[in-house]
Structure 1
Amino acid sequence: MLLNVSYNNKEITRKIDEEVGKPFPLKERWALGGIGSPKLFITEASLEIRNLLILDNNLDSCNVELRPKGIIVRFRSLLETFALVIPYYKLTIYKGDFAVYSIYRDHYFIKVRSDTKAIQKFFKKLMDYKADNAPTNIEDL
């Protein structure tokens, strides 16, 4: 689900919380060692996301936020902020050649450079958390 989250809209916030859960409380954020990624530079994206990114001439970047039932990939275009909301059961991550991670949800995807140890450490934390907390059968959804 690709959403414009630039403005404080209760309906959009409710949709996001329903899909990936409410944000972690402060105590859990400390226990996880942080829930946000470093700045990620986008190398490639699906058509809908690419059409948003080419509207301005800024360097394409995003960040990832961990949630209890999924992740949120946020990026900016012009003066708007967009969020790609991905529950764990729809999340697919590939580590490709040339230090690139690919994040997929259905027909949306974003490929980011993983040229630092901090980025690789964050994706390892994300995959470990997904393995421990993703639903194992349909009743868990």
Structure 2
Amino acid sequence: MVLNISYDDKRQEDEINNFVGSSYTFWQSLKMRGSGSQKLIIKQSHDVFKPYLTQRNSTKYCNIELRPRGIGLRFRFKLEAIGWFIPYEHLEIIFSDNHIHLNDTTTQYFMQLEPSHRSKIDQQFMDKLLTLKQ
């Protein structure tokens, strides 16, 4: 599910929460030592994301938020915030030290991501993601 999440909308928030679960509380996030990824660069994506990612002279950054029943991938487009939400049962992950490939098996949307400042993907985050996906 790809949504513009720039503005607070109770119906949209309920729809997201029903789809991938509510965000972890501060204490839950603290207990699991964080629920967000490092800053990632979007290298490749499905055509549905192209209108949001085609800007000249601009690197597109994103981050991944872990949720109880799925993930939320968020990135900026001009002044708007865009979210892509995927339940764990529809999520396919391929990763190595220097990239992550996320695929939604129902829509076939995908993104290939690389770390922005570090040379490797944060292994602790990937372990949490794979554990929650099981």
Of residues 125, 128, 131, the one that matches 2:131 is 128
**Residue correspondences, number:** 130
5+ residue gaps, structure 2, are none
CA RMSD of aligned residues (A): 1.7
Percent sequence identity over matched residues? 33
Q: 4+ residue stretches of structure 1 with deviation over 6 A? A: none
TM-score, normalised with respect to structure 1: 0.84
Higher helix share: 1
Look up the match of 1:50. Answer: 50
> How far apart are 1:3 and its partner, in Å?
0.3
Q: Structure 1 regions of 5+ residues with no counterpart? A: 132-141
Structure 1 residues 20 and 14 mapped into 2: Cα distance closer, same or farther (>3 Å)? same
Shift of 1:118: 5.3
TM-score, normalized by length of structure 2? 0.88
CA distance in 2, matches of 1:37, 1:88: 16
1:1-141 paired onto structure 2 within 5 Å: 1-55=1-55, 57-95=57-95, 99-105=98-104, 106-114=107-115, 116-117=119-120, 119-131=122-134
- Return closer, same or farther for 1:118/1:95 CA change in 2, 3 Å cut-off: closer
